[in-house]
């Protein structure tokens, strides 16, 4: 499960400290300047050389995946809240909002997630979290379909794309307070059984 070190027993103290400070700093920079922020600035702000950052996280996606892992707990909290919802259609709706919020955590996050969702190759570190999100979406979707509240032709992947698109619209700044609900209404009316 550990993605650092060469399989040895005891990871050196400075290594785990560096990894932690890099992740923490990256999280702040992503929050402030979006996922396209300068990695050089992250390294400098974390007090490490650029090569150290690259050793820990070979690609920007790897760093992003590491940061997102810190945020995954919040999603579990949302899921436990949704578990208390009796109506399957309402549960699906709330999960869609949770997805949308999750995708909106950092500016520019939707794009790499979309790319990772396409290429199912394990080379991309974002593929795994994406697949998990799609699986969860399929779960809520199936429940709603079993209750006869959602059309049978709807797929979990479609809803994943839809939620991601909503976050992207928010990310670009388009989509004011009136247009976003309008879009949501269109999507919801589109998949719900009349």
Partner DNA sequence: ACCTGAACACCGTTCAAGT
Interface with its own copies (CB under 8 A)? 111, 114-115, 117-119, 153-155, 157-158, 161-162, 165, 168-169, 172-175, 178-179, 182-183, 185-191, 194
The phi, psi pair for 177, rounded to 5°, reads -70, -20
Q: Report the residue number, 37 or 136, with the smaller CB distance to DNA.
A: 37
From the list 180, 64, 179, the residue with the least C-alpha distance to 111 is 64
Question: From DNA, its own copies, none, which one binds at residue 51 (CB under 5 to 8 Å depending on kind)?
Answer: DNA
Q: Report the residue number, 49 or 182, with the smaller CB distance to its own copies.
A: 182
The contact pattern for DNA, residues 9-28, with x = CB under 7 A and - = no contact, is --xx-xx--x----------
Q: Report the residue number, 12 or 118, with the smaller CB distance to its own copies.
A: 118
The contact pattern for DNA, residues 51-70, with x = CB under 7 A and - = no contact, is xx-xxx--xx----------
Give the interface size with DNA as a residue count (CB under 7 A): 24
From the list 129, 113, 120, the residue with the least C-alpha distance to 75 is 129
Angstrom CA distances, 164 to 101, 109, 110, 112, stand at 9, 9, 6, 11
């Amino acid at each position: 499960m550990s993605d650092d070190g060469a399989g040895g027993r005891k990871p050196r103290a400075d290594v785990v400290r560096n990894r932690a400070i890099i992740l923490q700093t990256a999280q702040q920079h992503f929050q402030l300047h979006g996922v396209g922020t300068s990695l050089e600035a992250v390294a400098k702000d974390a007090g490490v050389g650029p090569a150290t950052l690259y050793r820990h996280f070979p690609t920007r996606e790897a760093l992003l995946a590491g940061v997102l892992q810190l945020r995954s707990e919040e999603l579990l909290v949302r899921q436990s809240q949704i578990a208390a919802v009796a109506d399957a259609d309402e549960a699906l709706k709330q999960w869609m909002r949770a997805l949308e919020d999750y995708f909106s955590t950092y500016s520019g996050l939707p794009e790499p997630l979309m790319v990772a969702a396409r290429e199912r190759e394990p080379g991309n570190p974002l593929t795994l979290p994406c697949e998990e999100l799609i699986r969860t979406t399929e779960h809520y979707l199936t429940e709603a379909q079993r209750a006869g509240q959602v059309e049978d032709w709807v797929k979990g992947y479609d809803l994943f794309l839809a939620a991601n698109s909503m976050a992207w619209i928010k990310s670009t700044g388009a989509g004011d307070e009136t247009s976003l609900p309008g879009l949501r209404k269109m999507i919801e009316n589109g998949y719900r059984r009349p």
